[in-house]
A = this chain, B = another copy of it.
């Protein structure tokens, strides 16, 4: 496989659970490799206190030929920061037709930068999006656990398993049957 790199974008107080299934399964049980990226290569501490190393800064990253997806977890710093550099990076990634997967606070970030005005999308709340200046995507908002449209995956904070499953299907990490079994198992619990 040529395009075997997945980037996980880490920001201050990134949310531990939101991309956790997606990165663990792809990095350990498929041909994909997960690398971390940030505005710079300063360690980024998660909500849970995990001090994580950052492999690449977005200004230096140039491995787009190998990039298969950019995953952006939520966290506690999206409301207080504009992160214009990250918005520019997402534009670059999408211009190369590489999918971007955002969950929770990261969907709010996409909203602030007007990525959601022209795609079907979800997120933690329509009310939050409607409070953002320039948001015009009301008719495209879908109350759902996860939505995939035109290269963007969006999900709410309770949808870590659904978010992972959508990512697995797009990246074709396994057979349809294996991925479906994984989803059933983690969605319903092994004992239910």
Q: Which residues of A contact B (CB under 8 A)?
A: 8, 13, 15-17, 19-28, 33-36, 43, 46-53, 76, 122, 124, 143-145, 156-160, 162, 185-186, 188-192
Q: How many Å lie between the Cα of A144 and that of B122 in the bound state? A: 33
Chain B residues with CB below 8 A from A20, complex form? 16-17, 20, 48
Task: Check B189–A159 contact: CB distance below 8 A.
Answer: yes
This chain: copies in complex: 2
Q: How many Å lie between the Cα of A64 and that of B50 in the bound state? A: 21
Chain B residues with CB below 8 A from A19, complex form? 48
Task: Check B36–A50 contact: CB distance below 8 A.
Answer: yes
Q: List 11 A-B contacts (CB under 8 A).
A: A17-B20, A17-B24, A19-B48, A23-B48, A28-B48, A34-B49, A50-B50, A51-B53, A122-B191, A145-B190, A162-B189
